Amino acid sequence: MVSFSRRALLGCFSFSVLLALYLPVAAAQENPYFVAYDHYLEEPGNLEIEYFSTLGTQRGGNN
């Protein structure tokens, strides 16, 4: 029978490996970005602002 300390050490090691494999996937989201125009592309005095968002809802569930 495996001792408790050895099982705890194996559990911590397994958790660390899974965490190390999962973190890059969790951080792989698109960062917000800004596009700035110089004076050759826009008329002076005009400013255009756009915002694109993604919103997901669950249909038929407890919202």
Q: What residues make up the domain containing 13? A: 1-25
Count of domains observed in the chain: 1
Tokens 């919202």 label which residue? 63
Instruction: Tell me if 42 is assigned to some domain.
Output: no
Instruction: Tell me if 39 is assigned to some domain.
Output: no
Instruction: Tell me if 3 is assigned to some domain.
Output: yes
Question: What pLDDT is stored for residue 43 in this prediction?
Answer: 67
Tens of pLDDT along the chain (63 residues)?
568 888 889 999 998 888 888 776 666 666 667 766 666 666 666 767 777 777 777 777 665
Instruction: Tell me if 13 is assigned to some domain.
Output: yes
Instruction: Tell me if 48 is assigned to some domain.
Output: no
First to last CA, the chain: 48
SS3 sequence of the chain: CCCHHHHHHHHHHHHHHHHHHHHHHHCCCCCCCCCCCCCCCCCCCCCCCCCCCCCCCCCCCCC
Question: What pLDDT is stored for residue 25 in this prediction?
Answer: 65
Tokens 């899974």 label which residue? 18
Instruction: Tell me if 52 is assigned to some domain.
Output: no
